[in-house]
Amino acid sequence: MRFSRGRNFLFRVPEGEELLSFINRFVKENNVLIGTVSAIGSLRNPKIGYFDEKAGKYRVISLSGTYELVSLSGNISVKDGEPFAHIHVALGDSSGKLHGGHLIEGEVFVAEVFIGELLGEPLERKPQGNGLTLWDETRI
């Protein structure tokens, strides 16, 4: 739960890349095992998920067109032995209304991404039996 600071990356994802898979490739190639991630930009035809607690799975919401990437927040930890990005996004349409949820995919028009690496004990996602893979809970 407590970490020291590692490397800091601020970069632009190439236009046309799929954002989530690019971030996952980036952290794998740079061996970032724990960290935080944030970004702004603009995405084409994003798909977001709403996790339906009762159904135990994500409902997929497919948006079409280009959306402002108003916020992207998330973290990096280890899942199935590899670094894994868990990311939520807020997306603005042409009238300024916001849509959002769990990022499933989105084609990059523009993406300016910050990744702050954290160093310390492994932080690992494990299947929870409710459809999610999560870290152990921290109690106080």
Cα separation, 113 vs 75, in Å, equals 12
Does residue 29 touch its own copies according to CB under 8 A? yes
Report the residue from 33, 83, 102, 106 that binds its own copies according to the rule CB under 8 A: 102
Cα angle, residue 37 at apex, residues 93 and 78 outer, rounded to 5° = 125
3-state secondary structure of 23: helix
User: Min. distance of Cβ 72 from its own copies in angstroms?
Assistant: 8
Return the residues of window 120-139 that contact its own copies according to CB under 8 A: 123, 132, 134-139
Helix (H, G, I), strand (E, B) or coil at 95: coil
Does 92 participate in binding its own copies (rule CB under 8 A)? yes
Using DSSP, state whether 91 is helix, strand or coil: strand
Residues 57-86 close enough to bind its own copies by CB under 8 A = 59, 61, 63, 66, 68-75, 77, 86
